[in-house]
Chain A
Amino acid sequence: MTDLASSWANAGAVLTVHRWVTVIGSLLLACMVVLMLCLQFGATSVGVETVATAIAHMVRGIEADSTSLGTSEIIMVQIRFPRVLMGFLVGASLAAVGVTLQALLRNPLADPYVLGVSSGSALGVSVGILFGIGSTLMLLPMLPLFGFGGGLLALLLIYRLAQSKGRLPIHSLLLAGVILNAILTAFIMFITSIMEPNRSAGLMAWLMGSLTAPNYPALGIFLLYVVFVLVILMHKAQSLNMLTLGEETARSLGVETEGIKKQLFALTALLTGAIVSVSGMIGFVGMVVPHAVRLVIGSDHRLLLPASALVGGMFLAVADTIARTIMAPAEIPVGIVTALTGGPFFLYLLLWRKDRML
């Protein structure tokens, strides 16, 4: 019998602990290398030693004041480190949301940005900002909840459309997303138009998708949301596998689909709300990354979900480093970088790889 087990494992049909640890372990290693590189580059580039000293200082809990640290260390600790970490977390979350939406809608091109879920969250957050939520530290953790509300409404609407005939063809789903996006954007524009000009300028800059200068409390709150949602999503990974087979088949395999679906809606909307509240609208990461990862390691969500999250994190950290450095000392919104890399890839899949996903 062990012969049989090993032959299945060798054929790659079974997700063994060994395979999982190997893939995730090497990705974690790659993440560390990539993040170290991202920390070095910026308006002023620093060496590995500076990065190391800064990290060492932080680990030892020493306050970053000018008496014990040089200028570059202060830049590291106060600006670049939180920013790179935020980029990583946002990218990881976007990829995880993408994977979940794709399984839920049975569509490998689903993406929170393209389908209008991000717009829903953005509208929610805009409403929150309009009423002054997020202006104080006490209220800051509330902002993602506004994003959650808006995102959930958009998600339920898209799901109703997708569910009408079991599974909506990708073109119809995209069309629905385009229209939903247009409507939601109109509402957001309305909100910015009734704000005072200086506040609306800030809102517009945030909407374009940027990771500028997050502070540690914001980072901490976001980290809590991310860990909470990702841990639960990992527990649902096997159910995600079943859901990709269609709801009827999933139920006949013993999945309580109604309950699972509700939980997945809530989780994706919650995470999208958190993402949008910290980084605005960053597109295509949720589609490009899972798609590429799936091509390499297959569709088993137990592996696909964490692997996509790690690759998504690296992808956005690198994209943000490009956004910070390409026109230094000026910065461009990272949303532009992801749209310019992800958008063409999306078009390529849509136009030339039709057969694989329709």
Chain B
Amino acid sequence: MQSWLPVGGPAIEVEGLSFRYGTTEGRERMWTLDHLSFYVDAGEILGVVGPNGSGKSSLLKVLSSFLPAGEGEVRLGGLSLGKRSQADIARLVAVVPQEYTQVFPFTVAETVLMGRFPHRTARWWSIGIGDETVNDLDCAHQSMIDTDVLPLADRLVSDLSGGERQRVMIARALAQEPKILLLDEPTVFLDLQHQIEICSIVRRLKEERGLTVVLVSHDLNLASQYCDRILLLKAGALFRLGTPHEVIGVDTLRAVYGCDVLIDRHPESGVPRVTMPSYVSTTNVRDHM
């Protein structure tokens, strides 16, 4: 197994994790994440799905330690998040955010190189000029080849299209040489071709680099097709966790989303495929709520 992991242990362990925004006294807010417990194996792609506001993005933010766990614990490679420094976490976990606005004119190459920041060895007298090592450049270079953004190297990130920018963000995440990749709605604003492109890049990275991937998505079909297992959230709590076959079923989805869908098989892979019914009766929806 990989050296950062205890032998045979999972990459991510989440135990009794709860989280809520704003802990103002007196007025108790609802838990955004409600006693979640699960694990993600090394080299696995876990899809996190659920309705709007079910806590998908919040879960991702807790896993990247941007938000603190309220109760419970998140362990990466057997060691609790709280026991790791921010730089230490950044060497393990890379995040590809959902939306990305670049305000300042940085080039693609500069942006990807920033992914090497957690690997810099800071000396107190150094002001960081010429800190990029050959290894840094090599790593950034390979990341840009893997995501096919090398031809864009000297373009400004702000001038790129949505699909190109998303690939640059993945390249920067790869430059961190992470063990775990967290993706927040990686395909949400992309057209069909770019969706396929991003998904196959993620799939390939899992196979070539042994990356552990946690992917948040609204798209049940994408999750079904590209993820090894799916975590279905309902109001912050774990509703179901398992292979696409186990999770994506008519009854399960009705219980979580409150509406009926049609489910058949993907013609190639045989994984479940979700289709909207041609006519949705609103009374039906109310019955099931």
Report if B107 contacts A (CB, 8 A). Answer: yes
Q: Is A331 at the interface (CB under 8 A from chain B)?
A: no
Known: A12-B107, A17-B129, A252-B94. 5 other contacts (CB 8 A): A4-B141, A14-B132, A252-B64, A253-B114, A295-B105
Evaluate contact between B110 and A357: CB separation under 8 angstroms: no
Q: Which of A88-96, A202-210, A298-306, A339-347 contacts B (4 or more CB under 8 A)?
A: A298-306
B86 to A: closest C-beta gap in Å:
5
Q: How many A residues touch the partner, as a band? A: 35 or more
Between-chain CB contacts (< 8 Å), 21 pairs: A1-B138, A8-B109, A11-B153, A12-B107, A12-B154, A13-B109, A13-B153, A14-B130, A16-B129, A102-B104, A103-B104, A108-B103, A234-B127, A235-B127, A244-B103, A246-B97, A248-B64, A248-B66, A253-B90, A295-B105, A298-B107
Most chain B beta carbons < 10 A, residue from A241, A251, A252: A252
- Are A2 and B106 interface neighbours, CB within 8 A? no
Closest-CB distance, B184 to chain A (whole angstroms): 10
Is there contact, CB below 8 Å, between B127 and A8? Answer: no
A1 in contact with B134 (CB, 8 Å): yes
Shortest beta-carbon distance from A103 to chain B in Å: 8
In the complex where A237-B127, A357-B103 touch, is A2 in contact with B61 (Cβ < 8 A)? no
- CB neighbours (8 Å) of A108 from chain B are 103-104
Residues of chain A with a CB closer than 8 A to B127's CB: 234-235, 237, 302
Tell me the minimal C-beta distance from A233 to chain B in angstroms.
Answer: 10
- Chain A 260-273 interface 0/1 with B at a Cβ cutoff of 8 Å (1 = within): 00000000000000
A294 at the B interface (CB under 8 A): yes
In the bound complex, CA of A11 to CA of B129 (Å): 17
Give per-residue flags for A240-251: 1 if the beta carbon is below 8 A from chain B beta carbons, else 0: 011011101101
Q: A294 to B104, Cβ gap below 8 A?
A: yes
Tell me which residues across on chain B come within 8 A of A5, comparing CB atoms: 134, 137
For B91, the closest partner residue in chain A by CB is A254
* Contacting residues, chain B, for A14 (C-beta < 8 A): 109, 113, 130, 132, 137
**Is B118 touching A253 in the complex (CB atoms < 8 A)?**
yes
> Number of contact residues on B: which range applies?
35 or more
Question: B86 to A256, Cβ gap below 8 A?
Answer: yes
Q: Is A255 an interface position by the 8 A CB rule?
A: yes
Complex formed: what's the CA distance from A283 to B100 in Å?
32
Which among B91, B129, B158 has the greatest number of chain A C-beta atoms within 10 A? B129
Q: How far is the CA of A268 from the CA of B126 in the complex (A)?
A: 21
| B130-A248 in contact (CB<8A) | no
In the complex, B89 has a CB within 8 A of chain A:
yes
Known contacts A256-B86, A302-B128, A248 near B117 by CB under 8 Å: no
A135 proximal to B (CB < 8 A): no
Is B272 an interface position by the 8 A CB rule? no
By the criterion CB–CB under 8 Å, are A238 and B95 in contact? no
**B117 contacts A253, CB within 8 Å?**
yes
A4 to B141, CA, bound (A): 8
User: In the bound complex, how far is the Cα of B132 from the Cα of A14, in angstroms?
Assistant: 7
User: How far, in whole Å, are A217 and B17 apart by their CA atoms in the complex?
Assistant: 59
With A11-B109, A106-B103 known to touch, is A251 a contact of B66 (CB < 8 Å)?
Answer: yes
Q: Does A241 contact B97, Cβ atoms closer than 8 Å?
A: no
Q: Does B101 contact A (CB under 8 A)?
A: yes
A20 touches B129 (CB 8 A): yes
Q: How far is the CA of A107 from the CA of B102 in the complex (A)?
A: 10
Kindly list chain A residues whose C-beta atoms are within 8 Å of the C-beta of B97: 246, 248-249
Taking A4-B138, A108-B103, A237-B127 as contacts, is the C-beta distance between A248 and B61 under 8 angstroms?
yes
Q: Point out the residues of chain A lying under 8 angstroms from B64, CB to CB.
A: 248, 251-252
A37 to B239, CA, bound (A): 75
**Chain A residue with Cβ nearest B95:** A252
Q: A254 is contacted by which of B87, B106, B113, B154 (Cβ under 8 Å)?
A: B87
Q: How far is the CB of A259 from chain B (nearest CB, A)?
A: 9
Question: Cβ of B66: which chain A residues have Cβ within 8 Å of it?
Answer: 248, 251-252
Q: Does A167 contact B (CB under 8 A)?
A: yes
Does A58 count as interface, using CB distance less than 8 angstroms? Answer: no
Given contacts A4-B141, A107-B103, A238-B128, whether A254 and B61 have CB atoms under 8 Å apart is no
| CB-contact partner of B110 in A2, A252, A298, under 8 A | A298
What is the CA–CA distance of A307 and B155 in the complex, to the nearest angstrom? Answer: 23
